Amino acid sequence: MLTALFSLITLPYAPNALEPVISRQTIEFHYGKHLQTYVDNLNKLVVGTEFENMPLEEIVCKSQGGIFNNAGQILNHNLYFAQFSPLAADNHAPKGDLLDAINRDFGSLEAFKAEFEQKGVTLFGSGWVWLSADKDGKLVITQETNANNPITKGLKPLLTMDVWEHAYYIDYQNRRAAHLQALWQIINWEEIAQRFAK
């Protein structure tokens, strides 16, 4: 019997808690089926390999092929799903050191959001748009295709938006831009600030 080395993360909110920005149905498919498949696949692929007992981040930095694709998608989705909170929460605006860094590196929060959305809309095909910090704490926005993650470039990932179609097609059909704009309403900026402070 296969021992589960990796498991599906527990969501910090109920499956319907992000409505109407992300529907319960999208959570059920995106989290419950897509992410679960990546977890199941990785557990099968790493058995008997050098990656069997490695942390997920290390696997992403050292692997290739199927192991990289599934590990990358687990890491990406873990960060993605953990960064949200319900509309009623009181944490949907950045503040403190994180807001200062956004203003320093992008000019304003509005300018940051506009650039981030543009990078998300213009990424061709499937992938992710990321806000990350470099080793000096400077904030950068990157486009990452498929399962790629900024940690492979020496960056610290802070915030991400998934532009694979399965992330938004049930709720937004082909309107990727509308999906990206709506996500700001449920970003848990306290979680992003904690990632920035580490």
Task: Using alpha carbons, select from 159, 195, 171 the residue that is nearest to residue 18.
Answer: 171
**What's the whole-model pTM score?**
0.95
Assign 52 to helix, strand or coil.
Answer: coil
| Cα(95)–Cα(13) distance, integer angstroms | 23
What CATH number belongs to 24-82? Answer: 1.10.287.990
pLDDT of 1 reads: 41
Q: Three-class SS of residue 29? A: helix
Which letter does DSSP use for residue 185 in this model? G
Averaged in consecutive runs of 10 residues, what is the pLDDT profile of the chain (198 residues)?
A: 77 97 97 96 95 94 97 98 92 95 98 98 96 97 98 98 94 95 97 96
Q: Which of 161, 162, 167 is nearest to 184 (CA)?
A: 161
73 Cβ contact list (under 8 Å, min separation 6):
35, 38, 147
User: Could you tell me if 13 and 84 are in contact, meaning their C-beta atoms sit under 8 angstroms apart?
Assistant: yes
CATH number of 96-197: 3.55.40.20
**In this predicted structure, what is the pLDDT of residue 5?**
86
**Whole-angstrom Cα Rg for the chain:** 17
Two structure tokens written together for 14: 């109920």
User: If phi over 0 gives left and psi between -120 and 50 gives alpha, with beta otherwise, what is residue 11?
Assistant: beta
Q: Report the DSSP beta bridge partners of residue 129.
A: 143, 161
Domain residue extents for the chain: 24-82, 96-197
